[in-house]
Amino acid sequence: MRIASLIRWIVFALAAFILNFPVIATLITSFKSNAEISRNPGLCIREPTLANYATVFDPAGRFDVWQFLGNSLTAALIGTILPIALCFPAAWAMARRGVGMNVLFPAAVNLRALPLIVFAIPLYLMYQTLGLLDTKLGLGLILAVVNIPIALLILTNTVRELPYELEEAARMDGASMATLLFRIVLPMCRPAIVTVFIFGFITAWNEFLFGLMLTTRDAVPITVGASFFFASGGGGVQWGVAAAIIMVSAAPPVLLGLVMYRHIGGSMTGGAVKG
């Protein structure tokens, strides 16, 4: 029994290491000087340095990384909160009254399977007309489209799982539609909404293609900004700096995932115990 458990822990450590290997390797590289990277490509660091991060955040540097981060934050928040706001009432109507289950629901959910590149050029033309190009709002709106399928799916399923009697009780208590939705159903959907928010935020933050296409200067998100540091074809890539900016770009969603994980995990196990 002891040995089996020991082996299990070893396998676990190994799996964790292999799954996270690229992250670990990049993290280590980000603490190496250029000289050390070319001399010592291994996983140990002889002279750790923060110089790469200093370069990334250098206020006099070529790019304003804080602005990229701010853009990503704003756009990702719009792209996460908006779908929740739009999908929650619709999800209730779908789950409880079957509204739009024939067309709207499948159409919206199937968006997930569609490569959204398809809409790139027409969207570009439309954004230009509306003055949405290179704005955080514009980027946020398209990120919202990206997140709608998962938001709608999760919220619809969640509402369907809620005990219907609670809503009947609320109707007996004289709750209006708005009260019912926002005072009764919404609070009970909170774990699901947190889940949607976290998944959505991570997806929005990590989105690359639309950031590349629809922003130029004012609204460039960090994933695209990071690729600026990865410029190729010209003066040479500084691999250490590139590694550092990748880590900076990956840090917010990873931290969010790690911190909020407990929250999700708690609600999951809670649900399981209740059966």
Partner 1 sequence: MTFRKKMLTATALSALMATAAQAEVTVLGWPGGPEEEALRAVTEIYNAKDDVAEENKVELLFFSRDGFFDKLQADLAAGSDAFDVNLLATYSIGRYAPYMEPITLSGEAEGVFGDTVLSTMQFEGAQYGVPTDLSMHFLFFRSDLMEELMGDEDAKATYAAISEEYLGTAMEPVAPDEMTWEDFAATALYFSRSVNPDSPTRYGTVLQMKNLLFNMMVFQSLPRAYGADWMDADGNITVDSEAYRTGLEMYKMLYDAGATPTDSLSYEFPEANAAFTSGQVAMMVQWNGASGALTGAESAPMTADVTDSVAPPTGPEGRFTHIHGLGLGLNKNAQNPDGAKAFLEWLSTEEAAVAYATAGGAPGLTGTAIEAVAEARPDLVPLGEFASNYGYVMNGATGANALSIYELQAQEFTGYWGDTQSLDEALSAAEAGMADLLK
Partner 2 sequence: MTTITLENIGKRFGTTDIFQDLSLAMNSGEFVVFVGPSGCGKSTLLRLIAGLEDVTSGKISIDGRDVTHTAPHDRGLSMVFQSYALYPHMTVRQNIAFALHTEKLPKAEIDARVNEAARALQIEPYLDRKPKALSGGQRQRVAIGRAIVRKPKAFLFDEPLSNLDAALRTETRIEIAELHKSLDATMLYVTHDQVEAMTLADRIVVLSGGRIMQVGTPHELYTAPANTFVAQFIGSPKMNLLPVETTARGVELSAGKPALPVPVRPAVQLGVRPEALRLVAPEEGLLTGKVALAEYLGADLSVYVDTEHAGRVTLRGPGTMKVRDGETVGLTFDISEAHLFDANGDAIRGEMKAAA
Partner 3 sequence: MSLSQRSENAILTAPLVLFLLALLGFPTVLDVIYSLSDVSFETLRAPTFTGLDNFRAVLADPDFWQATWFSLKFAVLTSVAECVLGLALAIYFSPILRRAPWMLAILIMPMIIAPAMMGLMYRLVLHEFIGPLPNYLYNWFGVSYGFLTAQNVFKTIFVIETLQWTPFALLLFHMAYESIPEDIREAASVDGTRGWRLLTRIELPLMLPTLGVALFIRFIDGFRVFDNIWTLTGTGPGGSTTSLSIYIYVAFFRSGEIGQAIAASMILFAAAFLVLFVAARRGRGKETA
Q: Which of residues 182-241 bind partner 3 (CB under 8 A)?
A: 202, 205-209, 223, 226-227, 230, 239
- Interface residue with partner 1 among 134, 145, 194, 257 (CB under 8 A) is 134
Q: Taking CB under 8 A as the criterion, which residues in 70-109 touch partner 3?
A: 82, 85-87, 89-90, 92-94, 97, 99-100, 104, 106-109
Which one among 99, 157, 190, 269 touches partner 2, defined by CB under 8 A?
Answer: 190
Binding footprint of partner 1, residue count (CB under 8 A): 41
> Is 234 one of the binding residues for partner 1 (CB under 8 A)?
yes
172 touches partner 2 (CB under 8 A)? yes
Of 64-93, binders to partner 1 (CB under 8 A) are none
Query: Dihedral angle at the C-alpha atoms of 234, 235, 239, 241, nearest 10 degrees?
Result: -110
Q: Which does 77 bind (CB under 5 to 8 A by kind): partner 1, partner 3, partner 2, none?
A: none
Q: Which stretch binds partner 3 (CB under 8 A): 12-20, 52-60, 167-175, 187-195?
A: 12-20
Nearer to partner 2, 188 or 256 (CB): 188
Q: Does 275 bind partner 2 (CB under 8 A)?
A: no
Site residues (CB under 8 A) for partner 2? 163, 165-166, 168-176, 179, 183-184, 187-188, 190
Site residues (CB under 8 A) for partner 1? 34-35, 38-39, 41, 62-63, 120-121, 124-125, 128-137, 212-213, 216-218, 220, 224, 227-239
